[in-house]
Amino acid sequence: MSTPADGLALPTTERPEPVTPRSRRRGWSLRAHLVAVVLITIALVVLSGVLVVSKDYRRARAEGALNAKFEAGLAAGITGRIKTAGAESISGSIPDLRALIVRSGTSLGQATNGNLAAYPPDRCNLSFASFRSFTSAVLNIVFPDGSVLCSSDQSLVVAGSHPYAGAQWLTPVIDRDAATVVGPLVDPVSKKSSMYVAAPIPAPNAPPDAKPPGVLMVAIDLTPLATTLHERFAADRYPANSLEYLVTTAKRDKVVSRSILPESSVGKPLDASAYARADSPKGAVLKDLNGTERLYVGQAVDELNWHVYAGISKSAVYRPARSAFRDYVTSGLIIVIGVGLVALAGIFTVARR
């Protein structure tokens, strides 16, 4: 509308310029904010759970290695930095058994005056029940030619035979007139994998350079050794097959004794390089002869340089971590459900307004 000079306003066809409304920036709704809070909470719970659980598994692995090292040390006779050689351990038993055989051989020489050939067979009353962790053995009086004069198991003696002629353990005793410990060897009489502890039977009045008339020898059956070690050292903490004791040769390439299936395991070959890794403080995860994964840590044995390995099953090693994982999952679910319920309550409250 325009106003002429006479002051009268006349209508016009011109349209006024449109007014542009102020633009509004749309933000997230309250519902979107609450959903985002729930999702972020879930992500944080999952992330923190992964970090904590991974730390628990690493801690369980380290503690498992320490436990296996301790168990192996108990059986071998070494715990910590100082060798303790407990009486029931292998390193503690062998020297004491050798000393016992030496004393017994000397006593037998004095009792017979060194004349073993005149020893009447009906007076053969040798016996050997057990010696600490060595629970099965045969005690023998052996002549230098390898024949057996007397045995704690007379049923194994065959008259006129020379089962130990040239035996690896016999020759050093006769030639050096000194005690010896040798093994494992398959005993030609009992057919069992054995450790031999032998000492000369000296003649009291013989010249110093005279060879002994006979040898007192005990053949230790090694089959039950590892089982006995498990019963005495680890059964209360690791029952059944959760821990395996494995005794190997010096080269780690053959089983001397095994606590699981001992009868069928003696003498079986081993991967020496794999078990050499288990000699480190961290140990090594290896499959046992039955395919079960175990965390092995080893300790060396004096005298024969054997190795004793304690192998804890992976399920036993990581049991504390799995238990903690279940607790974390439960706690995380409680947190997520709680936050979700609060978010739902907020959404419904706003919707009713």
Read off the pLDDT of residues 241-252 as tens digits, 9 standing for 90 and up.
999 999 999 999
Q: Total structural domains in the chain? A: 2
297 shares a domain with 204: no
Q: What band does 329 get if pLDDT is binned at 50, 70 and 90?
A: confident
- DSSP of 223-272: TTHHHHHHHHHTTTTS-TTSEEEEEE-TTS-BEEEESSSHHHHTT-B--H
Q: Does residue 96 fall inside a structural domain?
A: yes
Judge if pTM exceeds 0.95: no
The CA-based dihedral angle spanning residues 21, 26, 29, 33, taken in that order and rounded to the nearest 10 degrees: -150
249 shares a domain with 314: yes
pLDDT for the residue numbered 104: 93
Which three-class secondary structure string do you get for 121-187? HHHCCCCCCCECCECCEEEEEECCCCCEEEECCHHHCCCCCCCCCCCCCHHHHHHHCCCEEEEEEEC
Q: Does residue 47 fall inside a structural domain?
A: no
Q: Does residue 298 fall inside a structural domain?
A: yes
Residue 304 and residue 43 in contact, taking contact as beta carbons nearer than 8 Å: no
257 shares a domain with 189: no
Boundary residue ending a domain (166, 190, 222): 222
Q: Does residue 198 fall inside a structural domain?
A: yes
302 shares a domain with 183: no
Angstrom distance (rounded) from CA 141 to CA 214: 7
Read off the pLDDT of residues 161-190 as tens digits, 9 standing for 90 and up.
999 999 999 999 999 889 999 999 999 999
CATH number, domain at 309? 3.30.450.20
Over its C-alpha atoms, the chain yields an Rg (Å, rounded) of 40
Q: Does residue 146 fall inside a structural domain?
A: yes
Work out the average pLDDT over 123-141.
Answer: 90
Identify the sign of the CA torsion 92, 93, 95, 100. positive
Boundary residue ending a domain (222, 245, 280): 222
Residue 275 and residue 309 in contact, taking contact as beta carbons nearer than 8 Å: yes
182 shares a domain with 119: yes
| Partner residues linked to 298 by β-bridges | 309
Read off the pLDDT of residues 187-215 as tens digits, 9 standing for 90 and up.
999 999 999 999 999 988 888 888 999 99
173 shares a domain with 249: no
Q: Does residue 310 fall inside a structural domain?
A: yes
Query: Could you tell me the residue range of the domain that residue 245 belongs to?
Result: 59-85+226-319
311 shares a domain with 256: yes
